[in-house]
């Protein structure tokens, strides 16, 4: 007999509610939960693809070990014992920093893994920790630390009540709101327009969000900081700056006014590609709106001046009084409050306490930027990485300069991957430890509800029980750490044994229950389980006074460390004003059917029109003699790729766009569907030595490339 299970999709930030019909242990169908209080029945193709992942014949169900170039199944005990022994041996022989950790975005969508992440990372006692943060959102959390005193204080657009929504480098119709959990975002934006709110998109591409906006403006990739400074200049010059109730909570307002004087629209028009009139109009309309909010995402983060651009988004909202008030940039009051937890534990975030061994890039929260990942493996000397653990990440596709990453992975003495697949990265591992899948895990979107456009809470138990002999991701983490400590000496082993026992007893659901009870809404798992469609906790509310974490309890509007980077920005104005006509600027883009590199083995998501194309302006294509569907050669100083062309008017002249996460045609990859739809890896032409100097975040948008007919 069929039964209905109400679940949560954990594939992206949207956290949509699912209605899953199953019978006799088999999934029959997956639909959007029509009664879900937040996603309102919305579901995208990724949600339905849970079924493909659950039954994927390529998915590993037991640990495998590479022997003589071939993979063989091995018991959990043997796999963990070998991993612990070899990793411990590397640290004894070369030092603690000879071992590195890399983890990917999916960790953030698995609350069990997230709650175990800190003890797991700290347990290895290495400074060589890397994650997808520095090819995604590092600048957002870093600016939160610098401006608000806590990396977890994330300004979220209150799109339910705003009158003017300015979007930079983001495509929420496709992403459903990255660092802005907004499931069913397209309809939310259409509802905004129906009530008279204005949506303005500033982006090098007229993307899916721009198609439903009131206005779209092309902008030169990488010049968003100049655009924002000119807006701030206009707002101050016209006397439109009005922080309102924030005025007494800000330090640096006059300092910002002085800085902005150097960036009038007349100085930046050629560099940004926007006219003086357009710059003036956007600035005055934004400042004149009763309630406005500026939202920037990956397109402004992963660029040469990503930290400056992210800071200036916040600054624009602050000087117009559009922070911590309805309709502006607000802060969630989630059931599990990460800001409050960070304050309680005195862990607001850390920056530049030490630098990477080779290039001297700063750490952020104990992690180095991914830009130095390969060089820290390949450069000899004390502290050289010799062993690696990867978890839910695919750096061989997702990090810049793929060939150098592959060279680095090949050179390691020992590598362990926690992953369900033999993919582009894990094929280099000695051992692969596969966790249970999403349908075998309970779900609570901790991170997502700390970024939501409305306060909401939902917990769902697992659809299926954990298979006999399988392990959840958090169990693998604790067991792997235990086996390393087992081989690291008697005292370490005894402490490790006690820690493992304690954390197994205080398993993730018990930790979650405690955090819910301590949270602002005083909930519990029992209460949440009685509400299978979730609980609406109401609209966002002003709460900055409760969460501000700077020493003086004031908004640090002008972080002095960042001001120094403005000199570097000014040095680009002349260069950008006279671009090289033989060069194009490459930007990335999102796809509704894709999520980074690991969704391409689903038949549902790869069927239909290919996503992996080079979008190019019609005029540029004509000048180069390119036809739609024809192969073009994209080249940089580190390599070249061949990719089919898609010609359109919806991209700025001189700019081209490719998605990321493709290129599944590598030897040794065991992903049958993905290999049939391999696509092209854009990171074969991205240079790891291109990064935002201040933060170290990789430049993935605004990369100079040459385009030729193939």
Structure confidence by residue, pLDDT tens digits, 568-604: 999 999 999 998 888 999 999 988 888 777 789 999 9
pLDDT of amino acid 666? 93
Question: What one-character DSSP code corresponds to residue 161?
Answer: T
Indicate the SS3 state at residue 558: coil
Burial class of residue 680 in the structure, from the number of CB atoms within 10 Å of its CB (0-12 exposed, 13-18 middle, 19+ buried): buried
Query: For the segment 441-478, what is each residue's pLDDT rounded down to a tens digit?
Result: 999 999 999 999 999 999 999 999 999 999 999 999 99
Architecture of domain 152-335+548-563: 3-Layer(aba) Sandwich (3.40)
Helix 306-319 / helix 253-260 crossing angle, nearest 10 deg: 120
Q: How confident is the model at residue 492 (pLDDT cuts 50, 70, 90)?
A: low
Can you give the pLDDT at residue 1?
78
Residue 634, pLDDT above cutoff 80: yes
Categorize the per-residue pLDDT at 491 as very low, low, confident or very high, splitting at 50, 70 and 90: low
* Sign for the pseudo-dihedral over CA of 662, 665, 667, 669: positive
How many C-beta atoms surround the C-beta of residue 20 within 10 A?
21
Percent of the chain residues topping a pLDDT of 90 = 90
Cβ-in-10-Å burial (0-12, 13-18, 19+) of 452 comes to buried
pLDDT digits (tens, 9 = 90+) for 177-227: 899 999 999 999 999 999 999 999 999 999 999 999 999 999 999 999 999
pTM, entire model = 0.96
Q: What is the helix (H) or strand (E) element at residue 295, kind and residue range?
A: strand 292-296
Average pLDDT, the chain: 95
Over 70: is that where the pLDDT of 146 sits? yes
Residue pair 479/77 in contact (Cβ under 8 Å)? The answer is no
Q: Can you give the three-state secondary structure of 568-592, one letter per residue? A: HHHHHHHHHHCCCCCCEEEEEECCC
Residues of the chain with CATH 2.40.40.20: 580-709
DSSP H/E element including 53: helix 50-55
Model confidence pLDDT, tens digit, residues 320-378: 999 999 999 999 999 999 998 888 888 899 999 999 999 999 999 999 999 999 999 99
Contact 465, 441 (CB under 8 A): no
Confidence at 63, pLDDT banded by 50, 70, 90:
very high
pLDDT at 494 over 70: no
Under a CB-based contact definition with an 8 Å cutoff, are residues 153 and 548 in contact? yes
- Binning pLDDT at 50, 70 and 90, where does residue 498 land? confident
Do residues 659 and 589 make contact, with C-beta atoms less than 8 angstroms apart? yes
DSSP 683-700: GGS--TT-B-TTT--B--
Contact 283, 239 (CB under 8 A): no
Paired residues of 387 in beta bridges: 99, 414
Residues of each domain in the chain carrying CATH 3.40.228.10: 152-335+548-563
| pLDDT of the residue at 458 | 98
d(CA 410, CA 661): 20
CB 124 within 8 A of CB 99: yes
Dist. CA 387–CA 87, nearest whole Å: 7
> Given the DSSP bridges, would you call strands 655-659 and 631-636 parallel, antiparallel or unpaired?
unpaired
Chain centre to alpha carbon of residue 609: 26
Question: Which one, of 447, 461, 441, lies nearest residue 6 by Cα?
Answer: 461
Instruction: Give the whole-angstrom CA distance, residue 415 versus residue 469.
Output: 23
CATH 3.30.200.210 domain span(s) along the chain? 3-48
- Tracing tokens 């073009």 back to the chain, one arrives at 632
Q: 260 versus 106: which is more confidently predicted?
A: 260
Q: Which residues contact 24 (CB under 8 A, 6 or more apart)?
A: none
Residue 396 has pLDDT above 90, yes or no: yes
> What per-residue confidence (pLDDT) applies to 579?
86
Is residue 387 within 8 A of residue 414, CB to CB? The reply is: yes
CB-CB contact of 313 with 185 (8 Å)? no
In 556-654, alpha helices (H): 560-563, 565-577, 603-606, 618-624
Residue 446: what pLDDT? 96
pLDDT band at 52 (very low <50, low <70, confident <90, very high): very high
pLDDT tens per residue across span 540-563: 999 999 999 999 999 999 999 999
Strand partners, 164: 198, 292
Residue 171 above 80 pLDDT?
yes
CATH topology of domain 580-709: Barwin-like endoglucanases (2.40.40)
pLDDT at 397 over 90: yes
pLDDT at res. 591:
86
Please determine, for residue 57, whether its predicted confidence score (pLDDT) is greater than 90: yes
pLDDT of 490 higher than 70: no
Confidence of residue 315 (pLDDT cuts 50, 70, 90): very high
Provide the pLDDT confidence category of residue 493 given band limits of 50, 70 and 90: low
Q: Is the dihedral of CA 348, 353, 354, 356 positive or negative?
A: positive
Q: What residue has token string 């960042």?
A: 562
The CATH label, of 3.90.45.10, 3.80.10.10, 3.30.200.210, 3.40.640.10, for the domain at 3-48 is 3.30.200.210
Tokens of 418: 């926690």
Which of left, alpha, beta for 662 (phi over 0: left; psi -120 to 50: alpha)? beta
What span, in angstroms and rounded, lies between the C-alpha atoms of 316 and 323?
A: 9
Angle between helix 490-505 and helix 473-486 axes, rounded to 10 deg = 160
Q: 1 or 606: whose pLDDT is higher?
A: 606
By CB neighbour count within 10 A (0-12 exposed, 13-18 middle, 19+ buried), where does 338 fall? buried
pLDDT higher than 80, residue 388: yes
pLDDT above 70 as % of the chain = 99
Q: Evaluate if residue 46 carries a pLDDT over 80.
A: yes
Structure token pair of residue 285: 């309309």
Alpha helices of 165-247 — where are they, by DSSP H?
A: 172-175, 185-194, 208-211, 224-237
Is the distance from CB of 599 to CB of 46 less than 8 angstroms?
yes
Ramachandran assignment for 534, one of left (phi > 0), alpha (psi -120 to 50 degrees), beta (any other): left
Q: Which CATH class is domain 64-126+369-443+459-533?
A: alpha beta
Q: What tokens appear for 659 in the block? A: 């998605």
| Per-residue model confidence (pLDDT) at position 499 | 76
204/585 Cα distance (integer angstroms): 10
């Amino acid at each position: 007999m069929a039964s209905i299970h109400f679940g949560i999709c954990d594939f992206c930030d949207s956290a949509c509610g699912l209605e899953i019909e199953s019978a006799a242990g088999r999934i029959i169908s997956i639909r959007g939960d029509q009664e879900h209080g937040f996603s309102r029945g919305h579901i995208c193709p990724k949600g339905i693809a849970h079924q493909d992942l659950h039954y994927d014949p390529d998915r590993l169900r037991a640990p495998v070990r590479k022997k003589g170039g071939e993979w063989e199944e091995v018991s959990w005990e043997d796999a963990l014992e070998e991993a612990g022994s070899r990793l411990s041996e590397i640290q004894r022989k070369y030092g603690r920093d000879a071992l590195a950790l890399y983890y990917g975005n999916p960790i953030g969508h698995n609350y069990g893994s997230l709650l175990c992440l800190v003890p797991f990372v700290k347990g290895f006692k290495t400074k060589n920790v890397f994650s997808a943060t520095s090819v995604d959102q590092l600048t957002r959390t870093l600016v939160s630390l610098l401006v608000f005193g806590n990396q977890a204080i994330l300004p979220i657009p209150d799109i339910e009540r705003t009158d003017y929504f300015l979007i930079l480098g983001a495509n929420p119709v496709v992403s459903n709101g990255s660092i802005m959990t907004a499931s069913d975002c397209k309809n939310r934006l259409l509802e905004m327009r129906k009530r008279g709110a204005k949506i303005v998109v500033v982006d090098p591409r007229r993307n899916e969000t721009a198609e439903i906006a009131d206005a779209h403006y092309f902008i030169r990739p990488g010049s968003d900081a100049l655009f924002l400074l000119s807006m701030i200049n206009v707002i101050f010059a016209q006397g439109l700056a009005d922080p309102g109730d924030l005025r007494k909570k800000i330090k640096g307002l006059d300092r910002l006014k002085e800085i902005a004087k150097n960036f009038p629209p007349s100085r930046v028009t050629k560099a940004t590609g926007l006219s003086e009139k357009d710059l003036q109009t956007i600035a005055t309309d934004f400042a004149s709106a009763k309630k406005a909010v500026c939202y920037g995402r990956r397109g402004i983060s992963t660029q040469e001046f990503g930290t400056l651009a992210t800071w200036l988004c916040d600054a624009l909202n602050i000087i117009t009084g559009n922070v911590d008030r309805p309709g502006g940039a607000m802060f969630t009051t989630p059931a599990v409050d990460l800001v409050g937890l960070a304050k309680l534990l005195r862990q607001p975030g850390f920056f530049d306490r030490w630098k990477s061994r080779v290039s001297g890039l700063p750490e952020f929260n104990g992690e180095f930027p991914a830009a130095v990942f390969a060089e820290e493996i390949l450069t000899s000397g004390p502290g050289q990485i010799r062993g690696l653990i990867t978890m839910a990440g695919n750096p061989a596709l997702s990090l810049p300069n793929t060939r150098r990453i592959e060279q680095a992975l090949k050179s390691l003495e020992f590598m362990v991957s926690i992953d369900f697949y033999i993919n582009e990265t894990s094929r280099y591992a000695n051992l692969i430890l596969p966790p249970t899948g999403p349908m075998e895990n309970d779900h609570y979107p901790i991170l997502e509800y700390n970024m939501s456009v409305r306060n909401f809470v939902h917990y769902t138990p697992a659809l299926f029980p954990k298979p006999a002999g399988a392990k959840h991701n958090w169990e693998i983490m604790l067991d792997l750490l235990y086996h390393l400590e087992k081989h690291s000496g008697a005292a370490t082993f005894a402490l490790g044994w006690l820690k493992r026992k304690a954390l197994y007893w205080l398993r993730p659901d018990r930790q979650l229950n405690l955090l819910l009870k301590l949270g602002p809404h005083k909930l519990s798992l029992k209460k949440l389980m009685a509400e299978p469609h979730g609980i609406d906790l109401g609209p966002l509310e002003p709460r900055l006074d409760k969460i501000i974490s700077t020493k003086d309890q004031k908004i640090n509007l002008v972080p002095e460390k960042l001001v120094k980077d403005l000199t570097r920005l000014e040095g680009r104005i002349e260069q950008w004003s006279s671009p090289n006509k033989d060069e194009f600027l490459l930007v990335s883009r999102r796809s509704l059917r894709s999520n980074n590199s690991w969704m391409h083995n689903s038949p549902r998501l790869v069927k239909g029109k290919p996503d992996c194309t080079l979008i190019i302006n019609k005029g540029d294509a004509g000048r180069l003699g390119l036809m739609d569907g024809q192969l073009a050669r994209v080249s940089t100083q580190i390599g070249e790729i061949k990719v089919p062309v898609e010609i359109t008017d919806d991209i700025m002249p001189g700019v081209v766009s490719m998605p990321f996460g493709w290129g599944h045609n590598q030897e040794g990859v065991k992903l049958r569907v993905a290999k049939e739809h391999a696509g092209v890896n854009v990171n074969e032409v991205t240079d790891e030595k291109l990064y935002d100097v201040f933060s170290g975040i990789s430049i993935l948008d605004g990369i100079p490339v040459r385009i030729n007919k193939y």
